[in-house]
């Protein structure tokens, strides 16, 4: 699905990702954990095509395509999705128009006609129920005045609408209470399939009780320093990150 090789990225003169390697196969769920500032969001942004970063080395192969050569719109239309750590508010643009443009963008890419109004509304209804997104929120401006939990559910709603092949969830669990966490996790689990892969970025093990990963990686200072199965997340939860940092520097 996605193969990241020796990826290096910097902001200005500051290197953030320092030769990162990661391969995710179809159907797999990978988790990335790591201390604050280790570069998790940077990885997510670089994959989604944010232009603030300089890619100084490495490659990313997305099902045979050179991901780094594509712009953000193309990446999304080709089936990559990023659930933002901090979803953006867009006053004056209704959630529903926003999603219709997104869905039609993807359809255009696939050589399909724009979706019919009625089909679109049915799709919205179906996907919104997946994350129990209130009908009111669909007509409001994108994320404007949404609570933290509503914003995160809206991200998963958008993901469900766009049915990506590969989704990156950047700290979708942060700021959620246990009910919201369960709703979000259920939404993600409902979308798991042998053809779809996920990269779940989180700071806490808690989310991984609900979205059980096939692999867990630990990112420290722009590099994956350790990989394992879900047990690794539990060990982290108990012992914190210090032992890894010592391990790595030793």
Partner 1 sequence: MTPSAEPIVMDLQRKPNIHPATQAKGEALVSALAGQRTSVDSAAKYLSALPVPHRRVERWKHTAVSGFWADYSEPVVQTIEAAGCEACPVPGLHAYRIVFVNGTFDAEASDLPVHSGVRCEPLSMSSAGIEAEGNLESREWFAALNGAFAAEGMKLLVERGVVLDRPLLVHHHTHGANSANIMRHEIEVEENAQVQLIHWSTANEDASGMVNIMTRMQVASGGIVALDKVQDEAGAVHHLAFEQIKQAGSSQVRIHTGTIQGKWVRNDLNFELNGEGCDAVLNGFFLPKGREFVDNHTTVDHRAAHCTSSEQYMGILYDSSSGVFNGKVFVRPDAQQTNAYQQNGNILATDKATINAKPELEIYADDVKCSHGCTIGQFDEEALFYARSRGIGEAEAKAMLVHAFIGDVLEGFAVQEVRLEVEHRLATRHGWDTWNDTIENA
Ligand X SMILES: Nc1ncnc2c1ncn2[C@@H]1O[C@H](COP(=O)(O)OP(=O)(O)O)[C@@H](O)[C@H]1O
**Contact residues: ligand X, CB under 6 A:** 11, 16, 34, 36-42, 52
Q: Rule CB under 5 A: is residue 41 a binding residue for Mg ion?
A: yes
Residue 4 binds which of Mg ion, ligand X, partner 1, none (CB < 5-8 A, kind-dependent):
none
Phi-psi region of 219 (alpha: psi -120 to 50; beta: other; left: phi over 0): beta
Kindly provide the b/e burial profile for residues 210-249, where b requires at least 16 CB atoms within 10 angstroms of the residue's own CB: bbebebbbbbbbbbbbbeeebebbebbeeeebeebeeeee
Residue 96 burial by CB count (10 A; 0-12/13-18/19+): exposed, middle or buried? middle
Residue 42 binds which of ligand X, partner 1, Mg ion, none (CB < 5-8 A, kind-dependent):
ligand X
The 3-state DSSP class for residue 167 equals strand
Least separation, in Å, of the C-beta of 39 and ligand X?
4
Q: Which residues bind partner 1 (CB under 8 A)?
A: 48-51, 71-73, 75-77, 81-82, 84, 87-94, 96-102, 104-106, 109, 114, 117, 141-142, 158, 162
Which one, 41 or 143, has the nearer CB to Mg ion?
Answer: 41
> DSSP for 178-221?
HHHHHHHHHHHHHH-BTTBEEEEEESSSHHHHHS--SEEEEEET
Question: In terms of DSSP bridges, do strands 29-33 and 197-202 run parallel, antiparallel, or are they unpaired?
Answer: parallel
Least separation, in Å, of the C-beta of 125 and partner 1?
16
Distance CA 81, CA 72 (A): 10
Which one, 28 or 170, has the nearer CB to partner 1?
Answer: 170
Least separation, in Å, of the C-beta of 217 and partner 1?
23
Q: Rule CB under 5 A: is residue 202 a binding residue for Mg ion?
A: no
Least separation, in Å, of the C-beta of 98 and ligand X?
24
Residue 71 binds which of ligand X, partner 1, Mg ion, none (CB < 5-8 A, kind-dependent):
partner 1
Angle at which helix 178-191 crosses helix 148-162, to 10 degrees, equals 10
Of 75, 73, 190, the closest CA to residue 128 belongs to: 190
Q: What is the DSSP letter of 136?
A: H
Residue 88 binds which of partner 1, ligand X, Mg ion, none (CB < 5-8 A, kind-dependent):
partner 1
Residue 37 binds which of partner 1, Mg ion, ligand X, none (CB < 5-8 A, kind-dependent):
ligand X
Residue 87 binds which of ligand X, partner 1, Mg ion, none (CB < 5-8 A, kind-dependent):
partner 1
Least separation, in Å, of the C-beta of 225 and ligand X?
13
Least separation, in Å, of the C-beta of 85 and Mg ion?
5
Which one, 44 or 133, has the nearer CB to Mg ion?
Answer: 44
Determine the Cα angle at 137 with ends 98 and 123, to 5°.
Answer: 60
Q: Quick one: which H or E segment has residue 82?
A: strand 80-83
Residue 157 binds which of ligand X, Mg ion, partner 1, none (CB < 5-8 A, kind-dependent):
none
């Amino acid at each position: 699905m996605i193969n990241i090789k020796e990826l290096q990225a910097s902001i200005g003169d500051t290197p953030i990702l320092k030769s990162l390697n990661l391969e995710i196969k179809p159907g797999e769920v990978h988790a990335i954990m790591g201390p604050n500032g280790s570069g998790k969001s940077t990885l997510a942004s670089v994959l989604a095509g944010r232009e603030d970063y300089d890619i100084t080395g490495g490659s990313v192969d997305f099902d045979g395509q050179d991901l780094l050569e594509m712009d953000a719109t193309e990446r999304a239309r080709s089936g990559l999705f990023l659930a933002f750590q901090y979803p953006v508010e867009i006053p004056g643009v209704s959630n529903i128009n926003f999603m219709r443009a997104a869905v039609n963008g993807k359809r255009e890419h696939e050589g399909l006609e724009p979706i019919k109004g009625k089909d679109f509304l049915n799709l919205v209804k179906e996907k919104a129920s997946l994350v129990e997104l209130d009908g009111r929120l669909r007509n409001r401006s994108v994320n404007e005045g949404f609570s933290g939990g509503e914003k995160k559910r809206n991200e998963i709603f958008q993901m469900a609408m766009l049915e990506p092949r590969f989704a990156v969830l950047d700290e979708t669990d942060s700021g959620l209470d246990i009910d919201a966490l369960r709703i979000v996790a259920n939404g993600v689990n409902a979308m798991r399939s042998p053809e779809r892969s996920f990269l779940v970025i989180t700071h806490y093990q808690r989310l991984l009780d609900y979205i059980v990963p096939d692999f867990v990686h630990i990112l420290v200072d722009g590099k994956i320093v350790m990989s394992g199965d879900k047990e690794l997340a539990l060990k982290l939860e108990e012992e914190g990150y210090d032992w890894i940092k010592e391990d790595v520097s030793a």
